[in-house]
Amino acid sequence: MKRIGCTGHQTLGVATRRHVVEAMLAELSDISEEILGVTCLAEGADQAFALAMLARGGQLHAVIPSKDYENSFQSNEARSTYNSLLQLAGSRSELDFSTASEDAYLAAGQEVADQSDILLAVWDGRPAGGKGGTADIVAYARQRGMDVRIIWPPGSTRQ
């Protein structure tokens, strides 16, 4: 089974999210074996990735950064999507952080990379806005010699 991880921006424009899912499906269609998606199910790229994985017939493994992670979601829609996707995940691991924080997000992103053969990164190429951001996880994965595939379709925007 091929393990595919995801890291990426949380604030994607509506059109960008659609194009990102299409690009992810194209990446996933090139993999002939069974796939397991490793993700934190965060708003934006992670949730788009989870939907693409399920559409492709893959399984999900959720990496939960903290015990109160659900409370860190900014919108009810994102929280609801998180809970729905979490129920569809075949497995999960919860890190030992009591509260969501930059340290928890960094550790979770590193855990996603550590559990993956390939890392899909929905990334505009800019530095991380805070510790544990997309750029930090891409750098970590590249340092480990991972297969990192950047997904940022032309015209993509962050909100």
- 87's CB contacts (< 8 A; 6+ apart) are none
Report yes or no: 95 and 64 within 8 Å, Cβ to Cβ.
yes
115-138 pLDDT, tens digit per residue, is: 999 999 999 999 988 899 999 999
Pick among 3.20.20.80, 2.60.40.10, 2.30.110.10, 3.40.50.450: CATH of 2-151: 3.40.50.450
pLDDT in the model for residue 130: 86
The distance between the two most distant Cα atoms of the chain, rounded to a whole number of Å, is: 39
Report yes or no: 45 and 11 within 8 Å, Cβ to Cβ.
no
Among 119, 115, 108, 122, smallest CA distance to 141 is for 119
CA 119 to chain CA mean position, Å: 9
pLDDT in the model for residue 129: 85
pLDDT in the model for residue 159: 84
Residue whose entry in the numeric block shows the structure tokens 């993999």: 31
User: What residues does each domain of the chain span?
Assistant: 2-151
**How does pLDDT run along the chain (159 residues), one tens digit per residue?**
999 999 999 999 899 999 999 999 999 999 999 999 999 999 999 999 999 999 999 999 999 999 999 999 999 999 999 999 999 999 999 999 999 999 999 999 999 999 999 999 999 999 988 899 999 999 999 999 999 999 999 999 998
pLDDT in the model for residue 109: 98
Q: Residue 93 gets which letter from DSSP?
A: E
